[in-house]
């Protein structure tokens, strides 16, 4: 008796209203009179009715779906960004779906391809960067309102919202210099993300401007096992002796690997007089508090990036195909002092 309702027609009859009115109700509950709204809602509750999504989306010009695409969900940084964005999308009345390309450009394209057939209202995309298939990405961005997050690709999408890499590195370099000595820059030889390039460039510029000689160590290794790469790279580096007392890692995951290697070698890392090394990094990874020693790092403004990017996408969706000028927004970092330097 409670589950005999299969479609809107029956729901309409059960609640004593016409089907177009019920349809209107689902489109916007406030568009019907309070009295009819209550009748409809009573029937919905009584029969546990939910409209058929597929029938809805087939006929609507625009769905309420949004895609969230990140390079690697197993990376806590992206997991956190994705979580925040997902929540905000729900609050804005959309149905977000999360996708991860797991560092694979081919999969990134496949995700976007299958996303296209979901006719999403919009997409929040944190692209792989260098590895991405730019032509396919560009084609996609032209067919679906897309906002780029975290990693920028020139001219692509409606807008870019991310973190200001220069702010990160300037603060960490400044801090290390002010409280000790100019740092060596420790990074991946072939980073899988454009942000790494900006960090390197900022490091060089900053060192130059302060009158120091930039010194960069690029460790080999591909893929997304950054800790492993940092670990091996640190061992290789330290095999040749300690190059400098201060080290700045391009990102926290490399630093985690570095600290692990340093620990194994019995090197003490920190700002105490007896310590052999000082280490700082960027990102404020969720585990940066729990490394040994805890990691001095520059923190993203997760909340600002996620709220701004969702807000931008929603605005873009609501005002239709209004092509404003593409805006790029970069939020500064917040230096977090811990025990590693």
Partner DNA sequence: TAAAAAATTTAACGCGCGATAAGTTTGACC
Partner DNA sequence: GGTCAAACTTATCGCGCGTTAAATTTTTTA
Separation between Cα atoms, residue 221 and residue 98, nearest integer Å:
28
- Interface map 46-85 toward a second copy (x if CB under 8 A): ----xxxxxx-xx--------------xx-x--xx-xx--
Single out the segment in contact with a second copy by CB under 8 A; choices: 148-156, 190-198, 258-266, 299-307: 258-266
What does 17 bind: a second copy, DNA, none (CB cut-off 5 to 8 Å by kind)?
DNA
Q: Where are the alpha helices (DSSP H) in 105-164?
A: 105-116, 134-143
Under rule CB under 7 A, residue 64 binds DNA: no
Please state, in angstroms and rounded to a whole number, the distance separating the CA atoms of residues 65 and 89.
Answer: 9
Least distance in angstroms from the C-beta of 9 to a second copy: 15
Element (H, E) at 20: helix 19-27
278-283 and 246-249 strand pairing: parallel
Q: What letters, b where the CB count within 10 A reaches 16 and e where it falls short, cover 22-39?
A: bebbbeeeeebeeebbeb
**138 touching a second copy, by CB under 8 A:** no
Regarding 267 and contact with a second copy (CB under 8 A), the answer is: no
Q: From the CB of 141, what's the least distance to DNA, in Å? A: 23
Q: How many CA atoms lie within 13 A of 48 on its CB side?
A: 4
Strand partners, 159: 147, 327
Name the minimum Å distance from CB 180 to a second copy: 21
58 binds DNA (CB under 7 A): yes
Instruction: Rule CB under 8 A: choose which of 291, 297, 309, 341 binds a second copy.
Output: 291
**In the complex, minimum distance from the CB of residue 308 to a second copy, in angstroms, rounded to a whole number:** 21
Q: Return the residue of 13, 19, 37, 116 that touches a second copy, per CB under 8 A.
A: 116
Beta bridge partner(s), residue 296: 280
Tokens 């929040």 -> residue: 124
Q: Which is nearer to a second copy, 182 or 221 (CB)?
A: 221
Does position 9 interact with DNA (CB under 7 A)? The reply is yes
Q: Tally helices (H) and strands (E) across the chain.
A: 12, 12
CA dihedral 238, 239, 243, 247 (to 10 degrees): -20
What does the chain come to in residues? 341
70 forms part of the interface with DNA (CB under 7 A): no
Q: Could you give the CA distance from residue 237 to residue 59 in angstroms, rounded to a whole number?
A: 61
Residue 14 Cβ vs DNA, minimum distance, rounded to whole Å = 12
- 289 sits near DNA (criterion: CB under 7 A): no
- Tally of CB atoms within 10 A around 255: 32
User: For binding to DNA (CB under 7 A), which residues are involved?
Assistant: 6-9, 11, 16-21, 23-24, 26-27, 31-33, 35-36, 51-52, 55-56, 58-61
User: For binding to a second copy (CB under 8 A), which residues are involved?
Assistant: 50-55, 57-58, 73-74, 76, 79-80, 82-83, 95, 97-98, 100, 102, 113-114, 116-119, 227-228, 231, 256-257, 259-260, 263-264, 286-287, 289-294, 339
């Amino acid at each position: 008796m409670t589950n005999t309702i299969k479609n809107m027609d029956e729901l309409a009859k059960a609640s004593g209203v016409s089907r177009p009115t019920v349809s209107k109700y689902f489109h916007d509950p406030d568009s019907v009179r309070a009295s009819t709204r209550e009748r409809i809602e009573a029937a919905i509750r009584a029969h546990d009715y939910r409209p058929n999504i597929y029938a809805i989306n087939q006929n609507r010009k625009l769905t309420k779906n949004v895609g969230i695409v990140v390079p690697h969900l197993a990376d806590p940084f992206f997991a956190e960004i994705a979580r925040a964005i997902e929540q905000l999308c729900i609050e804005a009345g959309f149905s977000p779906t999360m996708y991860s390309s797991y560092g694979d450009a081919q999969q990134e394209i496949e995700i976007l391809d299958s996303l296209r057939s979901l006719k999403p209202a919009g997409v929040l995309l944190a692209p792989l960067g260098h590895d991405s298939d730019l032509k396919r990405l560009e084609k996609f961005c032209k067919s679906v309102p897309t906002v780029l997050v975290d990693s920028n690709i020139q001219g692509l999408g409606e807008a870019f919202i991310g973190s200001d890499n220069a702010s990160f590195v300037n603060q960490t370099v400044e801090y290390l210099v002010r409280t000790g000595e100019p740092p060596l820059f420790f990074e991946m030889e072939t980073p899988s993300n454009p942000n790494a390039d900006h960090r390197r460039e900022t490091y060089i510029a900053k060192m130059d401007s302060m009158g120091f000689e930039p010194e960069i160590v690029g460790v080999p290794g591909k893929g997304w096992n950054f800790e492993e790469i940092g670990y091996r790279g640190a061992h290789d580096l330290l095999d040749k002796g300690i190059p400098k007392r201060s080290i700045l890692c391009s990102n926290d995951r490399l630093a985690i690997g570095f600290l692990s290697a340093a620990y194994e070698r019995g090197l003490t890392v920190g700002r105490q007089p007896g310590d052999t090394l000082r280490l700082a990094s960027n990102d404020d990874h969720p585990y940066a508090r729990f490394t040994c020693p805890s990691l001095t790092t520059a923190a993203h403004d997760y909340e600002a990036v996620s709220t701004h990017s969702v807000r931008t996408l929603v605005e873009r969706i609501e005002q239709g195909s209004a092509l404003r000028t593409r805006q790029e927004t970069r939020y500064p970092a917040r230096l977090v002092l811990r025990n590693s330097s």
